[in-house]
Structures are given as C-alpha cells and as structure tokens.
A and B are shown apart, each in its own frame.
Chain A
Amino acid sequence: MVESSQAQPGAVAPPNGAGASNQVQKYELALRALEEGLPAAEAAVERTLPEGAPAHPSVVALLERSRDALLFWEVVAGDEYVVFVRPERCFELLRWLKEEPSQAYLYLSDVTAVDYGGGRPLQVVYQLWSMVLKRQLRVKAELPLSALEIDSVVPIWNAANWLEREVYDLFGIRFLGHPDLRRIMMPNNYAEGHPLRKDFPLRGRFSRAEQTRRALSMDTEDFYSPQELVFMQPEDEVGPPGPDSGPGAGGPAEPEGDRA
C-alpha cells in the first residue's frame, strides 16, 4: 500500500501507447470522481420546499394548524419529509398527529437522538408511520445542551417507553412525565456519563484500571432498581423460619446461606 502511494507521481506520466491512453483517461476520470465525492442526493441540501412542489399532506396540515410551532421543514434523501418543531410544542403536535383522523399516525416507529458535536443542539427524532394512509413523517426537536428536557410521548404511544429510556441513557435527554426513566443499556450506577454524546470518548471517561476496579466491585444489587429492592426486603425476613416450621421431615434439605 505504501509503495503505491509513493508511486503516485508516476501515474500522471504520459502513456506509452495509443491503446493505453484510453484506459488512462478512464481512470483519470474515475480518480477525479473519487476526489470530488458523491453528489448530494437529490434535494438533500434543500432546506425548504420549492414553490409548487407536491407537498406532504401532513406538512401542509401542520402549517395550516400551527405555523408558530414549526421552525422549518425539509426533504431529505429524495422522499423523506422532516419537520422541525419547537420542543415545548412537540408533545401537543405529536398527539394531534396521532389523534387527528386525517393524519392517523397510530404507529411510532422510532425515537432517537442525533448529536452533531461541537456544542450544537441535540436533535430528538421521532419516526412516524401512518398505517392507514401509508405516509412517513419525521419530526425533530432541537434541544440546546443547557436544557436537555422534553415531554415524554409515552402517554401517546407506549412504544416510546423503552426507546426514550434508551435515549435518556445514551444521550442524557430527560423525558418529562416518563413513567420509568432509568438507564437501560448501562448499569444503574454507571458514572461515566452518556456514551453516544460526541464529547464522550470511545473507550469511556475513566481509565482502564478504574473501569476494571468498578466492574470487580459491582454488587448484584447494582442491577436492581430501588422499587425491586423494596420487594426484596420482606422476603429476606421470611427466609429463615420457613424450613423450620415446614411440614416436618418431608421437605428437602435447603442449603444454608443461599438466600444471603
């Protein structure tokens, strides 16, 4: 590989035959294409719809209904419509999109977030699909790093329950009103932050030695949520008298200490 890069100046040397010249031309074109990269997919850079373009019915309806809640909208990758909304109005608009019969986005496909890094706001991304009308819509809300809070959509779609927990765990966005906002991928006592943020280093914040120390000092109970621990308490108390007051000799001998 290194040899070929050193040999690169040789590539522009004039070809020695007429037959080869065609091929060289072809590869020069290919190399230039490689340098320039791919053109952006059709309309991917367009920030707003051109006048007269066939608009997404839901985007039109949203514009008519609550223009003040919409920041802007765009079309990406040819046919995907994205609507940017104000985070404080997001819940209301999403509820309307589900409950309004002319929209009927009964199915929430995904909730996720995107961090572009460099202190830019985090985007919360909702993927909606209307099974009745066969329409796709992506709703985004931008949250500044200083206020990573947005209303939970679990009251609208139960599917958002674990998806929002995942976004909370990996991005640190708090979903207000979520019934059970706990970490889902990382352990409950994970102290290194939120891994999918751009400022999180690939191998974690702590040194390898510290990570190993923490892993070794973990207790089984680290994985229990506080609610579950409440249930654990009485069972531990009942434990010891159980075998003693059992039905006499019939019970199997229970090894001592496995309840500890």
Chain B
Amino acid sequence: MSERRTVEYNVSRSPELGMDGRPVRMPVLPIGMEPELVGEHMLINIGPQHPATHGVLRLVLELDGETVVKCTPHVGYLHSSFEKVGEYRMWNQIIPLTDRMDYLAPLIYNCAYAMAVEKLMGVEVTERCKVTRVICMELDRIFSHLLWIGTTGIDIGAFTVFLYTFQERERIYDLHEAFTGARVTPSATRIGGMMADLPAGWTAALQLFVDTVPRTLDEVETLLTNNNLWIGRNRDVGVIGPDDAINYGLTGPNLRASGVDYDIRKDRPYYDYQTYDFDVPVGEHGDCYDRYLVRMEEMRQSLRILRQALDRLPDGPMNVDDPRVILPGKSDCMSDMESMIHHFKIVMEGVKAPPGESWFSVESSKGELGMYVVSDGGSKPVRWRVRGPSFVNISALPRMVEGALLSDVIAVNASLDIVLGEIDR
C-alpha cells in the first residue's frame, strides 16, 4: 500500500474547532458511539449494477473512514466463455464473437482476429484491404475514446461532455451501418478480406466526419482541460509510475500516461503503420489527468492517420484472389455449377488452417490486444485466446486506489477505460 493521504474531515454541523480555529481532524462518527468502534473498518460494495463501474464490475472496498484500505475487484458476471465457444466454430464464424467482446471498438477486434488467422495461414491481404482495415481501426479508436471521455465526464460530474461526444459517436454508428449494415456489432472482416467493399459515397462521408470532428474535440477540451473541478478530481489521482505500470502489464493510453513510449503501431508495425506520419502522445505523471490528455491527443493523431489513409486508399480488389479462403462471387454461383460447388464447400466445410500457431498483437483503443490462435490443420481452432487489454489493466486497480479516497476509486476506474465484455469474455 502506498502512503495514505491526510484527510481533513469537516462535515459535521457544528465542527469542533481546535486552538488555531480550524476543525479538529477526526473521523465522522455518530455521537455516543462506543469508543472501541473508532477506527473500525467498513466494508462497502460497489456494483455489479452500478453506473460508475462501466458494466458489471463489482468492487469490494474496505474503508478506514473515507480511505480505501483494500480493494477487491470481482469480475466474471458477463462470462460467456467465448474462447470455448470458438473451439466449436469454424474460423470465419468466430468473427461475430470478437465484436461482442469490445462493443465499444468492435472493428479493431474483427481486424485483429482476422490478422492472426491470416498470419497463421500465410495469407497476405490486398493493399486496398490493408488501408481499409487501418481506416476501420483508427475510426474505432476515436469511437472508443469518445465514449470514454463522455462516460468519464458523467462519473466525475461533467454531464455536458457526454452529449457532445455521443453526438459524434452517432455519426460513427452511421458509418458502421453504411459499411456493414450493423451499428454495434459489425463483424466486418473475413479471413482474407472484408465482408464487402466500401459502399459508394462512404469515403466522402468519412472525409466529412474527419473534417468536422476536430471542432467537437476543441469544444470538449474547452469544457474540461482547464476546468478547475476536472483538474481537482483528476490531477495526482491514481498515480502509477513507469516501472510499476510495466510490471502490472498496463498497456495503451494508461501505460503511455505513465511516461512509457510503447505503442505497437510504432514498435511492431503492422499494415504499414510505419509509413503513416503520426505521433504517439506520452504523459509524464501517470495520473488520471495525464490519461485524459493522452487520449485527447490520440484522437487527433488518429484523425491524422485517417486523412492519410483516405488519400492513399487504392482501387483494386478488396479480397485476396485465393479460392481456398474467399467465396466466389454471387453471380458466378448462380450461373455456373463449379462456382456453386466451390461456394458450398467453403460454407459447409469451412476454411482450413495449417497446423501451427500464431500470435498477433494490435494496438487497440485500450491497449495491447493479442490474438493467439492454435490450429491442428482442421477448419476449427484448437485454441483461440484473446489477451484483452482491459483484463490486465483492471487488475492494477487495487494498486492504484489503495490508500486513496473512496471518490478517487470512481475517477481511477473511469480513467482506466475498461470494457467488461472483454474482461469477462
């Protein structure tokens, strides 16, 4: 446990004043309570049904006055064993499971899974598909960060921000829907490509979004960055140093806010991220306020990547020209027998992956998302493992809140940006 904070209690109606005229520092206790109960620890329970836990997370807190002595998170309320179900599904059928994990940035999960399987199979996707996936992932990074800033604002008492960011999120939902037909669970990727090519006018709509969203980000920053209440609730709260952050396995904006420059897009580039011009924001204090600043800057950097990707989006096929993984065209299936058999075999038997295993890490909006797939040569995986960033990030919560105040627990938990669908899987 780190050092405890000095707390000035001044909530009683007639505070007892000391020699210097300031309230005497004493725990709040009803008058007449047994003296041996002074300093008694209290156990309180937050969640699982609590709006500030961002899902069904349950925290059991042992309090001394208002100071957290011990924090025990309980997860698993949403556990639906996606990894077990995946072992009974064919490679392409797992994609709908991936976006149900992180429903706040579903396209990143779709892409990461497809990449891991393609790496295992040795399939190289087309240039157009690569750029499209980069667009999808950066769009969903903004999508997830916008939700984070809105809900964190609500947790801390700034309601207006939520309305601003959710207006922008609605436009991303519309983009999802225009591309995939679904708003929350797009299931957009397939092994070897995407479920469809980008519809006509989609890139223009995205360009409009990219051009207009910075105004909202400016407004949000005007509301928060220099806001005294926001700074008071966030600065020096939930501090974790760089060494500890690495040791606890923090990744993503949470790690970078502690001053560690680790971004998978830069350190192990995939999909030509090294050719995009963007910066990785790094904080220095490792507190909630730095996490906020890092995420705000990341959204702007994602917009930079989106602009470059829109410029370089090449024409050409979206899917690889490999009959072993990609379905034949619909009109071919309807007009000649061979294509129909081909279609039948891919749908019924599924794509087959060679024996072996592969690990693929991408930088998701919440940190390092690792997909580990093991195959024995069949059309279903032997093991499909998801290293979710939120699961590891939330395990550092006790380290960050023990010794802090109860109200800080809400701020720290919000600042970690967790999604319970992925923690519980």
Contacts and interface: CB of A to CB of B under 8 A. Distances in A.
B234 interface: no
B391 to A, nearest CB: 7
A127 B391 CA distance: 16
Contacts of B267: 131, 134
A186 B76 CA distance: 6
Interface residues of B, number: 80
Contacts, number: 202
12 contacts: A31-B342, A34-B346, A38-B121, A76-B357, A76-B358, A78-B119, A109-B368, A157-B247, A163-B392, A196-B81, A231-B41, A247-B32
A121 interface: no
Contacts of A78: 119, 122
The residue among B33, B343, B359 with the most chain A CB atoms within 10 A of its own CB is: B359
Contact of B387 (A24, A109, A138): A109
B348 interface: yes
A38 B324 contact: yes
Contact of B385 (A31, A40, A110): A110
Interface in A1-40: 1, 4-5, 7-8, 10-11, 23-24, 27-31, 33-34, 37-40
Interface in B336-381: 336-348, 352-359, 361, 368, 370, 372, 374, 376-377
Task: List the 7 closest A-B pairs by CB distance, nearest first.
Answer: A159-B249, A27-B338, A30-B323, A77-B358, A44-B356, A40-B354, A41-B122
Contact of A11 (B43, B338, B343): B338
Interface in B301-324: 323-324
Contact of A44 (B41, B342, B354): B354
A4 B72 contact: no
Interface in A79-130: 80, 106-110, 112, 114-117, 125, 127
Nearest to A169: B76
Contacts of B84: 195-196, 200, 202
A228 interface: yes
Given A5-B344, A127-B387, A33 B324 contact: yes
B311 to A, nearest CB: 29
B88 interface: yes
B369 to A, nearest CB: 11
Nearest to A30: B323
Interface string B227-249: 00000000000000000101111
Contacts of A42: 122
A186 B32 contact: no
Contact of A77 (B324, B356, B383): B356
Interface of B: 30-34, 37, 40-43, 58, 60, 62, 72, 74-76, 79, 81, 83-85, 88, 119-123, 244, 246-249, 260, 262, 267-268, 323-325, 328, 336-348, 352-359, 361, 368, 370, 372, 374, 376-377, 382-383, 385, 387, 391-392, 395-396, 399, 424-425
Given A185-B425, A242-B30, 19 more contacts: A7-B340, A30-B338, A31-B323, A33-B324, A37-B352, A40-B122, A44-B354, A77-B356, A78-B122, A110-B372, A117-B382, A134-B267, A134-B268, A157-B247, A158-B247, A159-B392, A184-B76, A195-B84, A246-B32
A226 to B, nearest CB: 12
B344 A138 contact: no
A159 B345 contact: no
Contacts of B30: 242, 245-247, 251
Interface in A213-250: 223-225, 228, 231-232, 234-235, 238, 241-242, 245-247
Given A45-B356, A112-B372, A161-B395, A185 B76 contact: yes
B122 A38 contact: yes
Interface in A154-168: 157-163, 166
B61 to A, nearest CB: 10
A27 B336 contact: yes
A188 to B, nearest CB: 10
Nearest to A227: B72
A115 B376 CA distance: 12
A76 B337 contact: no
Contacts of B382: 114, 116-117
Contacts of A27: 336, 338-339, 342
Contacts of A115: 383
A117 B40 CA distance: 51
